[in-house]
Chains A and B, each alone.
Chain A
């Protein structure tokens, strides 16, 4: 059943790109547009934080601590007199970098493992997949925490720890996709017409198995932000005064009875970004035949 559909996907991806984009934008649903808007704003925060706020993201003004939201401080200030909105804006860079690194680690290592396993069946496949199984068998949080303890605390290290956990998921998906594509007629044909293993892999197998992997990557982007925030809650986040979103939620929760917005506001931002990532992931997944 996979042969025609895979063929169709290959054709539409290579030939009709411009047409595809136009029609895609026309068909853009309002929720998807909203999702892209959220992502765009957050990306702009990450790149040009100072364009969005005049306050510092890390330095507070003693004496102005724990102010309620007002015109001066849209989302109030924290215990050290730091503007919360500014911290969220400056935090975008840290959180997005973290999520990006995490997804890259999982995507690259996982896809590579899955690709090799799927392409080279036999003992190598079995060995890799058992390794992947044992990655899944270790409780993810235990693995993340141990990696952070070994590598040390910091935005990138936390991201690596989160990414390592998703390697198994990417590997499994990539393998199943590769196996699906590999069994298709045109790949068989490519082998038959004398293509070397790696060439066929690169030319035919990789592009045709990537769509769902990329959809998973978008989805993992959201979960990575969540996982990083959970590590922050457990005391394994980036060192202060990094304004990373997860840390903002985690630190703000201590002030819950005094200033609930300190944890609610960054929480809402994370929910919106993760929802957007999820929506975009679905949209990518749907283009998959």
Chain B
């Protein structure tokens, strides 16, 4: 077990290092750089010499490997560098933007989970065939709508037509209602599809028939036996969904004019602000690795049958 833990941990570190390096190289290939974008805009009217000075001041004229090593060094000491576009340290940008996105993403994910379970439960409880079919088709519909379009429509309907929530100067809770809905609906779709499929699969298992034969009600069986077995695989893809959440946040934040990591990412790409992008990659890789590590470690705990198998797949 200790060996397994160490192995998983080592893999996580390898993924982190790999992601960091790949992202660094990718970002170096971006044409033009943040300094050029910010300081060579014609209205700045700087001379080429002034720009060369600025470049030297930021250390942008060093060779690639030197910049790589210094970036690695910086990150290891917790220094995320300096955003050329915003003119503030990256850590400050992250401090102001990360919490709101984390809140949005976690609320969005929670809402998606609730929606998923409600959908799956409703479609399994209902006796009516057409309603069941309709509910089962709902995730497909959710997955077919562009997120930005959904957001704009939700604003039009709930804010401008019905006047239920304000989007311009909302209260702290009001502010999150529509964005969380926008984020949760598309995220819930794959989760619901997997959960529904798993429930169907588990329902065909012999032990369910045995339980039913013993006189257990359908819903009791569902909660008692099926839910647990079906939730496990659902949990696995949760780790993969983190990236989707961030992508959803980019769009949601753009539509609703919220500040956060999504908007930061979008602007940083546009301005080729590599320091910011590198930090975002590191944070999301860290989150990805951690979530997957937790899911992997929880798996044998939640499902003792898998305890022996885990060692084999690692």
**Direct A–B touching in the complex (beta carbon < 8 Å)?**
yes
Instruction: Return the contact of B289 from the options A137, A270, A279 (Cβ within 8 A).
Output: A137
Chain B residues numbered 264-279 whose CB sits less than 8 Å from any CB in chain A: 265-266, 269, 272, 277
Q: Which residues of A contact B156 (CB under 8 A)?
A: 256
Q: Which residues of B contact A272 (CB under 8 A)?
A: 144
Instruction: Return the contact of A149 from the options B11, B30, B152, B243 (Cβ within 8 A).
Output: B30
Q: In the bound complex, do residue A139 and residue B18 qualify as a contact, i.e. CB atoms below 8 Å apart?
A: no
Chain B residues numbered 120-144 whose CB sits less than 8 Å from any CB in chain A: 137, 140-141, 143-144
In angstroms, how far is the closest chain A Cβ from the Cβ of B201? Answer: 12
Does B51 sit at the interface, judged by CB under 8 A?
Answer: no
In angstroms, how far is the closest chain B Cβ from the Cβ of A281? Answer: 10
Q: Which residues of B contact A274 (CB under 8 A)?
A: 143-144
Q: Which residues of A contact B29 (CB under 8 A)?
A: 150
Q: In the bound complex, do residue B281 and residue A149 qualify as a contact, i.e. CB atoms below 8 Å apart?
A: no
- Identify which of B26, B146, B272 gathers the most chain A CB atoms within 10 Å of its CB: B146
Q: In the bound complex, do residue A130 and residue B15 qualify as a contact, i.e. CB atoms below 8 Å apart?
A: yes
Does A133 sit at the interface, judged by CB under 8 A?
Answer: yes
Given the known A-B contacts A149-B30, A150-B30, are A136 and B149 also in contact in the complex, defined by CB atoms under 8 Å? no
- Interchain Cβ contacts within 8 Å, total number: 124
CA of A246 to CA of B252 in the docked complex: distance in angstroms?
Answer: 17
Does B285 sit at the interface, judged by CB under 8 A?
Answer: yes
Q: Which residues of A contact B22 (CB under 8 A)?
A: 134, 138
Chain A minimum-CB-distance residue to B282:
A137
Number of chain B residues close to chain A: CB under 8 A: 45
Q: In the bound complex, do residue B145 and residue A271 qualify as a contact, i.e. CB atoms below 8 Å apart?
A: yes
Given the known A-B contacts A134-B22, A230-B148, are A278 and B140 also in contact in the complex, defined by CB atoms under 8 Å? yes
In angstroms, how far is the closest chain A Cβ from the Cβ of B152? Answer: 6
Q: Which residues of A contact B31 (CB under 8 A)?
A: 149-150
Does B250 sit at the interface, judged by CB under 8 A?
Answer: yes
Does B34 sit at the interface, judged by CB under 8 A?
Answer: no
Chain A residues numbered 237-289 whose CB sits less than 8 Å from any CB in chain B: 246, 249-250, 253, 256, 263, 267, 270-272, 274-275, 278-279
A141-B265, A150-B29, A267-B149 given; name 12 further pairs at CB < 8 Å.
A31-B137, A134-B18, A137-B284, A138-B19, A138-B22, A138-B284, A142-B269, A142-B284, A233-B251, A271-B141, A274-B144, A278-B140
Residue numbers of A with Cβ under 8 A of B are 31, 126, 130-131, 133-134, 136-142, 145-146, 149-150, 222-223, 226, 229-230, 233-234, 246, 249-250, 253, 256, 263, 267, 270-272, 274-275, 278-279
